[in-house]
């Protein structure tokens, strides 16, 4: 079965200068891949007619589907529709259903209607118009020389609505796609090169239609097995066999056998055991709490946090002794132990995490350089303390500290 391929084009000068982060293409790639459509390329370009025309032609030459987001707003710098008219040799016409939808939106919100808003109902005559239930700019579906093109707004919420309600179902009906399945194993505690060395024989034994990818991120390493096949059930069964083999080879460093965030990994364990957790954060400034509470339903096991950034708050809220801070300093094993005990008592939880460190770029000393972190995790009955020496920038040091601390608690609970 021939592979169906897609190119994703994101349009906007704001993407090229880093003012806006492109989350659209990542989300689109996930949805397409799940239905067996392979993303061949993702391209970001500016608001220039020549670049749009050239990129569309170039991507249509190598892909079956070209998905375009951006440049459909009501302002002068949004040039996608006139450019599409030139590419498809058509003209702009008023689409009455879209006009009525735009009028409805502005009337229902009590907003004045400008001509530039009315112009949102102008679409290329050659397209099939896709209703945008979440905004005024419609999506547009084109077919040319056996290729499908879809242009959508760049606003993520609007693009997702158009993709889910129309584009994905239409693509599924249009193409007989192969099965593309993934299994992801998350590990921690061993570098990418050492894991690859351990998997040398395993990787060499994989059939051509199953691939292994290494995806390192913030002290975690994701290992993704991807299988291609004509039949989903048969492909899934074969992939599971290889995945379980890989899992056995890495059993000692496995964090999760699904592609989920560390906050969800920890949350599932706490939920399963009926236990609660709280956090006492200094250097991470609430990052651990944010990751735990990002999981729906986390209120079942997460009770709260103290962000004790100053020594004064460590003493006042967590009961850290002044003599401990004077003798050992805020970044010390002794201090995080007392922070942990204070969190367990103050928050009235079964388990707690306490962290204190120097994230940089300054604040370090010869004895405690930037990147020095102490953490304590545990309960009233068992505690683990760990010291780390991180060597990255402030943001990455904070995120790595959060991952390390949450993983330490995961390991302690499972002992």
> Residue 394 above 70 pLDDT?
yes
Residue-wise pLDDT for 197-253, tens only, equals 999 999 999 999 999 999 998 889 999 999 989 888 999 999 999 999 999 999 999
> 371 is written with which tokens?
């990147």
CATH number of 4-174: 3.40.980.10
pLDDT at 117: 86
For domain 262-414, give its CATH number from 3.90.950.20, 3.40.1350.10, 4.10.80.400, 3.30.1600.10: 3.90.950.20
Model confidence, pTM: 0.81
Residue-wise pLDDT for 144-183, tens only, equals 999 999 999 999 999 999 999 999 999 999 998 888 899 9
**E-strand stretches of 287-410:** 302-307, 351-357, 372-378, 383-389
Portions of the chain given CATH number 3.40.980.10: 4-174
Q: Where are the alpha helices (DSSP H) in 63-184?
A: 80-87, 96-108, 115-118, 156-162, 168-174
Residue-wise pLDDT for 256-285, tens only, equals 999 999 999 999 999 999 999 999 999 999
Portions of the chain given CATH number 3.90.950.20: 262-414
CB neighbours (10 Å) of residue 300? 11
Portions of the chain given CATH number 3.30.70.2860: 179-256
In three-state secondary structure terms, 356 is strand
Q: Which CATH class is domain 179-256?
A: alpha beta
Per-state percent for the chain, helix, strand, coil, to nearest 5: 45, 25, 30
Measured CA to CA in angstroms, residue 303 lies from 5, 293, 364, 412 at distances of 46, 10, 33, 19
Q: Are 357 and 369 in contact (CB under 8 A)?
A: no
pLDDT band at 75 (very low <50, low <70, confident <90, very high): confident
Is residue 235 within a helix (H) or strand (E), and if so which, with residue range? helix 232-249
């Amino acid at each position: 079965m021939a592979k169906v391929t897609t190119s994703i084009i994101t349009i906007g000068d704001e993407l090229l200068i880093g003012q806006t982060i492109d989350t659209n293409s990542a989300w689109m790639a996930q949805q397409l891949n799940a239905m067996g459509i392979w993303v061949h390329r993702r391209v970001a370009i500016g608001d220039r007619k020549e670049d749009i025309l050239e990129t569309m032609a170039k991507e249509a030459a190598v892909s079956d589907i070209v998905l375009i987001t951006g440049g459909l707003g009501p302002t002068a710098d949004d040039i996608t529709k006139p450019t599409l008219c030139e590419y498809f040799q058509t003209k702009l016409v008023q689409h009455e259903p879209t006009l009525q939808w735009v009028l409805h939106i502005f009337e229902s919100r009590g907003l004045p209607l400008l001509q530039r808003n009315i112009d949102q109902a102008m679409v290329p005559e050659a397209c099939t118009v896709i209703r945008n239930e979440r905004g005024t700019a419609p999506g547009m579906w084109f077919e040319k020389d056996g290729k499908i093109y879809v242009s959508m707004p760049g606003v993520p919420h609007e693009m997702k609505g158009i993709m889910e309600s129309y584009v994905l179902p239409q693509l599924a009906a249009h193409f007989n796609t192969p099965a593309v399945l993934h299994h992801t194993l998350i590990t921690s505690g061993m570098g990418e090169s050492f894991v690859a060395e351990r998997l040398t024989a395993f990787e060499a034994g994989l059939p051509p239609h199953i691939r292994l990818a290494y995806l390192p991120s913030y002290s975690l390493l994701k290992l993704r097995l991807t299988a291609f096949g004509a039949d989903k059930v048969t492909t899934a069964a074969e992939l599971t066999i290889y995945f379980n083999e890989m899992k056995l080879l890495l059993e000692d460093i496995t964090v999760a056998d699904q592609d989920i965030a560390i906050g969800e990994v920890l949350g599932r364990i706490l939920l399963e055991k009926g236990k609660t957790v709280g956090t006492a954060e200094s250097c991470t400034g609430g990052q651990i709490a944010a990751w735990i509470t990002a999981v729906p339903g986390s209120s079942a096991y997460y009770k709260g946090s103290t962000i004790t950034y100053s020594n004064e708050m460590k003493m006042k809220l967590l009961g850290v002794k002044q003599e401990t801070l004077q003798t050992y300093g805020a970044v010390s094993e002794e201090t995080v132990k007392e922070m942990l005990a204070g969190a367990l008592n103050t928050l009235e939880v079964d388990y707690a995490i306490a962290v204190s460190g120097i994230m940089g770029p300054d604040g370090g000393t010869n004895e405690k350089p930037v990147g020095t972190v102490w953490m304590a995790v545990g309960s009233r009955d068992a505690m683990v303390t760990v010291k780390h020496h991180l060597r990255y920038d402030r943001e990455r040091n904070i995120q790595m500290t959060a991952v390390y601390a949450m993983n330490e608690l995961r390991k302690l609970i499972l002992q």
